[in-house]
Amino acid sequence: MSYLEPRGGHTPSGGRASGQPDAPAPYVSGVPAEEPDPYATYRRQADAQQATESGPSWNAFTPGPAEAPAAPPVPEWSAPTAATSTSQAEWELTEAESPRGPGRRRAGRDGKSPAKPAGRAGRNLPAAIAVGLSMILVVLASLFVWKPAFLGVMAVAAGVGIWEMVRALKVTGAKAPMIPLLAGGVLMTGLAWYGSTDALELGLLVTVLAAGLWRLADGVEGLRRDLSAIALIAVYVPFLLSFGVLLARPEDGAKRVLITLIAVVFSDTGGYAAGVFFGKHPMAPTISPKKSWEGFAGSVTASAVGSSLLAYFLLDVPFYWGLLFGAVLSIVAVVGDLAESMLKRDIGIKDMSNLLPGHGGLMDRLDSILFAVPTAFLLLSLIAPPG
């Protein structure tokens, strides 16, 4: 059987059979017929399976629906676990100041950037002045009305400072026990009032040992870190602050404390004013960007002049010794301020707490005083020994 027989319907002799055409069947209509695709069924099954597994596929000729760009994730606010400017309002302010992704609002409803309530030096000045004056009045009343009340003021200040430090250091994972440190703070202030510097050192040793044993009961994991936090808190807050109690013990102790506090106030005020009006050269930009060398010069000048006058009229100290006293106290106060700023920057917090409006926490106000009080105790013991 030849090729033409089944496909063309021709007879072996080449003539017509049963009236069928001479041409092959696929060309009867004059248009070539489409060849059948033996893989069409397989392709349809494969496409259906792919659509089931990964969804429909799109190409340039059948574009799919346009997808909206994903918004950048915004972290949710959670309850604070440490004193890190802990209110939700402060967290929202921090979020507002952080770099924004595309599409986030950068201005208020009127098209203007929201104004910050703080002044040029970064503080709410009226609230800061009001709170600062209130604290000074409490200290002065306890000193000049009934001096034993000053011991209570110092014990409360040490307790609040310990509380703020324990909460702040929790950010680093340190777990300093609160109860033995608070008890040790009361013990150290009491020993400073009724004893001497030797008794104060003994109180520091007892506090560190008691807090260390308390912490050891929870296991040895992270013990070295927690012992370091215990030692830092015990020395930094109640031990240094208790020198203020030693400073107030003599008969003229109220005047000594007053000169020390006013010297620190002069230093802060002079530095603030000089920094706002003349500050151009940053002093420690990586630690405290708002401090300038011009502000530092204003601090030293204001503290030296003010302290020399006070020391002369209250303690009969010559002017040159008063100038030296004020200048040294100003330098030490600035160092104390920078030390706490560096501590907060390492921890990653703005304020120790939000306890005092315009100031942050109590430790944010005691930072200068903590370093100034032991220095004043030592200097006044040399230039104006208690008689």
The pLDDT of residue 83: 38
Comparing 247-261, 282-296, 355-369, the range with the smallest average pLDDT is: 355-369
What pTM was estimated for this model as a whole? 0.68
Residue 8 lies in a domain: no
Q: Please provide the DSSP assignment of 37-71 as one string.
A: -TTHHHHHHHHHHHHHHH-----SSS--PPPPPPP
pLDDT of 69: 55
* 87: in domain: no
Domain for residue 168, yes or no? yes
Range of the domain at 218: 144-249
For the stretch 250-279, pLDDT in tens is 999 999 999 999 999 899 899 989 999 998
331 and 213 inside one domain = no
Percent of the chain scored above 70 by pLDDT? Answer: 68
Q: Compare 136 and 201 and report the one with higher pLDDT.
A: 201
At position 156, the amino acid (one-letter code) is V
Residue in this structure with the two tokens 């070539």, named with its chain if needed: 32
- Do residues 292 and 186 both lie within one domain? no
pLDDT tens readout for residues 63-86: 455 555 555 555 554 444 443 343
DSSP assignments along 170-189, one per residue: GGGT----HHHHHHHHHHHH
Q: Is residue 127 part of a domain?
A: no
Same domain, 266 and 385: yes
**Same domain, yes or no: 260 and 342:** yes
Residues 6+ apart with CB under 8 A from 145: none
Residues 195 and 276 in one domain: no
Q: How large is the angle between the packed helices 148-169 and 178-194, nearest 10 degrees? A: 150
- Domain boundary pick from 249, 266, 290: 249
Same domain, 293 and 364: yes
Domain contains 29: no
Farthest CA pair distance, the chain: 151
DSSP one-letter string for 296-365: HHHHHHHHHHHHHHHHHHHH---HHHHHHHHHHHHHHHHHHHHHHHHHHHHHT-S-S-S-BTTTBSTHHH
Tell me, yes or no, whether 68 lies in a domain: no
Domain shared by 272 and 371, yes or no: yes
Q: What are phi and psi for residue 204, nearest 5 degrees?
A: -65, -45
Q: What is the pLDDT of residues 367-383, one digit of tens each?
A: 899 999 999 999 999 99
* pLDDT beyond 90 at 307: yes
111 Ramachandran zone, left/alpha/beta (phi>0; psi -120 to 50): left
* pLDDT at position 156: 96
Domain count, the chain: 2
Does residue 200 lie in a domain region? yes
Mean pLDDT of 200-228: 95
Asked whether residue 95 is assigned to any structural domain, the reply reads no
Q: How far is CA 182 from CA 125, 155, 380, in A?
A: 32, 9, 29
Residue 111: the pLDDT is 47
pLDDT band at 386 (very low <50, low <70, confident <90, very high): confident
